[in-house]
């Protein structure tokens, strides 16, 4: 290379422009890494869906609910008889649910998918409320055409045993299929005699479910008073829905939680005509998610968003060292350093698939930092300076890792950290003669 060409690359403005171009070029491999993360996430989700299709999906339990069809005859002003057929969903007065969610992990390739077995005890009672009495006294003749009781279960593949339900003195065998205008699209039902209920007796019920499922288990607060108590060996629960537990405790061995919901907490009555409140009923569900999210992919994607910051700061520090210590770093060498910084994210994604994200992050950071430090030691011929740059890069990786953990305070911590970094760079920029051309 001629002396004229050497001087050209040593001009600060020219070098800054070249570094800026390299940063833009390195955005291409970063986009490829983002695509890789999205692809690996999709593969993991496909593996998860395959397991769920073979096992059972999320479960939502509805009821039990009484379904009653009435034939009502009325005479109009002209004496003509009009006949109407109306279906009503009668919700329980008390609904008590107790369950134990026993989770386990199934493997599909390198992926671990969480499923559960959940023995569920459901007890409660029905009463002949004033609303129901008013309906039965409606019109000149109210004839009871059909009555049934149903239990909504969103995925029937999760039922392991035959389901029987005790209703007063009756013992009913529930079969698949739902009555018309039910509050759930899938479940079990049986015809039932409710004459004792209509006579004013309190009818108690009980049933047991041996339920399989995955991702989540939810309940609908259909009782005038609904209580739910759950225990589980899941250590990473996520409580969701319209109601959070009144009490909950999560330990290294699992969690316990309980809910209590009363009628005034939801926006529908105890006797529902047809499926008039279908959406309101289903919007009121609550429960717990036991799915282990693909956090390492999510965290890897969040880490990639800081890539431009690490690349830019590493280049700026290397440029400052070059100018202050009168060392020449060729643009190709800047490119190789940038590619090493990009490789960090590929290492992070691949290693995190086989171990925890924290361990993967440490390994990838040490490998990348060690590679760049050794390379700069050979380029600059000053080990102390190379180690200083390596230490700064390691500090940047540590700073990014802390930001990933501080979800609520990430913006505040990041803004303060960037302010400090900018202040340091501004300080050292004063030591450079920006008008020096050789």
Whether 434 is in a domain gets the answer no
Selected residue with higher pLDDT from 11 and 363: 363
Do 302 and 200 lie in one domain? The reply is: no
Distance in angstroms (rounded) separating the CA atoms of residues 232 and 115: 12
How large is the average pLDDT for residues 164-175? Answer: 85
Do 287 and 300 lie in one domain? The reply is: no
Q: How confident is the model at residue 9 (pLDDT cuts 50, 70, 90)?
A: very low
Whether 436 is in a domain gets the answer no
Distance in angstroms (rounded) separating the CA atoms of residues 271 and 135: 9
Burial classification of residue 60, based on how many CB atoms lie within 10 Å of its CB (0-12 exposed, 13-18 middle, 19 or more buried): buried
Strand partners for 148 = 67, 191
> Tell me: the pLDDT tens digits for 273-321?
877 888 888 888 888 888 665 566 777 777 777 777 777 777 777 777 7
Whether 50 is in a domain gets the answer no
Selected residue with higher pLDDT from 45 and 431: 45
Give the lowest-confidence range in 218-227, 245-254, 315-324, 427-436.
427-436
Distance of CA 87 to the CA centre of its chain: 38
Average pLDDT value over all residues in the chain: 78
Q: At what angle do helices 357-380 and 331-352 cross, to 10 degrees?
A: 160
pLDDT > 70 in the chain, percent = 82
Burial classification of residue 9, based on how many CB atoms lie within 10 Å of its CB (0-12 exposed, 13-18 middle, 19 or more buried): middle
Whether 240 is in a domain gets the answer yes
Do 285 and 303 lie in one domain? The reply is: no
Domain boundary among 292, 311, 339: 292
Q: Which of 12-26, 234-248, 390-404 has the highest mean pLDDT?
A: 234-248
Q: How confident is the model at residue 162 (pLDDT cuts 50, 70, 90)?
A: confident
Do 262 and 336 lie in one domain? The reply is: no
Nearest CA to 205 among 185, 223, 180? 223
**What pLDDT is attached to residue 98?**
92
**What pLDDT is attached to residue 214?**
81
Residue 331 has pLDDT above 80, yes or no: no
Q: How confident is the model at residue 354 (pLDDT cuts 50, 70, 90)?
A: confident
Do 99 and 244 lie in one domain? The reply is: yes
Residue 230 has pLDDT above 80, yes or no: yes
Q: How confident is the model at residue 190 (pLDDT cuts 50, 70, 90)?
A: confident
CB 97 within 8 A of CB 228: yes
Whether 52 is in a domain gets the answer no
Do 216 and 240 lie in one domain? The reply is: yes
CB 151 within 8 A of CB 163: yes
Q: How far is the CA of 406 from the CAs of 61, 403, 424, in angstroms? A: 36, 5, 24
Do 67 and 191 lie in one domain? The reply is: yes
How large is the average pLDDT for residues 47-61? Answer: 79
pLDDT > 90 in the chain, percent = 2
Do 263 and 338 lie in one domain? The reply is: no
> Tell me: the pLDDT tens digits for 245-277?
888 888 888 888 889 888 888 888 888 887 788
Give the torsion sign (CA, 262, 264, 268, 269).
Answer: positive
**What pLDDT is attached to residue 335?**
81
> Tell me: the pLDDT tens digits for 109-150?
666 677 888 888 999 888 877 777 776 666 555 667 778 888
Q: How confident is the model at residue 96 (pLDDT cuts 50, 70, 90)?
A: very high
The pTM (predicted TM-score) of the whole model is: 0.67
Do 232 and 328 lie in one domain? The reply is: no
How large is the average pLDDT for residues 138-165? Answer: 78
Do 324 and 229 lie in one domain? The reply is: no
Helix/strand/coil (H/E/C) assignment for every residue in the chain: CCHHHHHHHHCHHHHHHHHHHHHHHHHHHHHHHHHHHHHHHHHHHHHHHHHHHHCCCCEEEEEEEEEEEEEEEEECCCCCEEEEEEEEEECCCEEEEEEEEEEEEEEECCEEEEEEEEEEEEEEEECCCHHHHHHHCCCCEEEEEEEEEEEEECCHHHECCCEEEEECCEEEEEEECCCCCCCCCCEEEEECCCHHHHCCCCEEEEEEEEEEEECEEEECCCCCEEEEEEEECCCCCEEEECCCCCEEEEECCEEEEEEEEEHHHCCCCCEEECCCCHHHHHHCCEEEECCCCCHHHHHHHHHHCCHHHHHHHHHHHHHHHHHHCCCCCCHHHHHHHHHHHHHHHHHHHHHHCCCCHHHHHHHHHHHHHHHHHHHHHHHHCCHHHHHHHHHHHHHHHHHHHHHHHCCCCHHHHHHHHHHHHHHHHHHHHCCCCCCCCC
Distance of CA 398 to the CA centre of its chain: 26
How large is the average pLDDT for residues 382-389? Answer: 78
How large is the average pLDDT for residues 397-424? Answer: 69
Domain boundary among 276, 292, 308: 292
Q: How far is the CA of 434 from the CAs of 151, 319, 334, 429, in angstroms? A: 78, 12, 20, 9
How many domains in the chain? 2
Whether 49 is in a domain gets the answer no
CB 60 within 8 A of CB 49: no
Whether 51 is in a domain gets the answer no
Token pair, residue 293, equals 């999210």
- Domain around 352: 3-44+296-429
Domain boundary among 259, 292, 325: 292
CB 437 within 8 A of CB 10: yes
Whether 438 is in a domain gets the answer no
Do 37 and 136 lie in one domain? The reply is: no
Do 306 and 206 lie in one domain? The reply is: no
**What pLDDT is attached to residue 138?**
60
Residue identified by tokens 């045993």 is 161
**What pLDDT is attached to residue 432?**
60
Phi (first) and psi of residue 30, to 5 degrees? -65, -40
Q: How confident is the model at residue 2 (pLDDT cuts 50, 70, 90)?
A: very low
């Amino acid at each position: 290379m001629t002396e004229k060409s050497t001087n050209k690359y040593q001009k600060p403005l020219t070098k800054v422009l070249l570094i800026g171009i390299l940063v833009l070029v390195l955005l291409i491999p970063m986009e490829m890494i983002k695509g890789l993360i999205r692809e690996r996430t999709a593969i993991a989700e496909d593996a998860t869906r395959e397991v769920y299709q073979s096992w059972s999906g999320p479960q939502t339990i509805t009821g039990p609910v009484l379904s009653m069809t009435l034939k009502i005859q009325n005479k109009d002003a002209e004496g003509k008889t009009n006949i109407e057929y109306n279906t009503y969903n009668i919700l329980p007065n008390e609904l008590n649910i107790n369950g134990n969610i026993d989770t386990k992990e199934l493997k599909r390739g390198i992926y671990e998918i969480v499923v559960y077995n959940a023995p569920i005890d459901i007890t409660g009672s029905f009463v002949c409320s004033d609303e129901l009495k008013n309906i039965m006294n409606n019109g000149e003749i109210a004839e009871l055409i059909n009555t049934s009781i149903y239990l909504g279960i969103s995925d029937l593949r999760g039922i392991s045993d035959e389901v029987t339900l005790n209703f007063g003195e009756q013992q009913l065998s529930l079969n698949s299929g739902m009555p018309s205008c039910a509050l759930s699209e899938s479940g079990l039902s049986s015809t039932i005699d409710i004459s004792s209920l209509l006579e004013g007796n309190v009818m108690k019920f009980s049933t047991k479910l041996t339920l399989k499922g995955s991702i989540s288990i939810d309940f609908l607060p259909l009782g005038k008073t609904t209580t739910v108590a759950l225990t589980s060996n899941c250590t990473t629960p996520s409580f969701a829905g319209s109601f959070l537990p009144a009490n909950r405790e999560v330990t290294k061995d699992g969690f316990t939680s309980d809910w209590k919901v009363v009628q005034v907490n939801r926006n529908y009555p105890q006797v529902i005509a047809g499926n008039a409140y279908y959406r309101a009923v289903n919007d009121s569900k609550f429960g717990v998610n036991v799915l282990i999210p693909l956090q390492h992919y999510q965290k890897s994607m969040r880490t990639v968003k800081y890539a431009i910051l690490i690349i830019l700061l590493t280049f700026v520090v290397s440029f400052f060292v070059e100018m202050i210590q009168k060392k020449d770093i060729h643009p190709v060498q800047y490119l190789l350093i940038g590619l090493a910084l990009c490789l960090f994210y590929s290492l992070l994604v691949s290693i995190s698939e086989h171990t925890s994200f924290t361990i993967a992050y440490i390994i990838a950071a040490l490998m990348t930092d060690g590679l760049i430090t050794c390379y700069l030691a050979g380029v600059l011929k000053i080990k102390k300076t190379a180690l200083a740059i390596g230490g700064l890069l390691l500090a940047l990786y540590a700073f990014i890792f802390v930001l990933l953990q501080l979800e609520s305070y990430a913006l505040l911590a990041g803004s303060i950290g960037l302010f400090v970094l900018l202040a340091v760079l501004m300080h050292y920029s004063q030591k450079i003669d920006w008008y020096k051309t050789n």
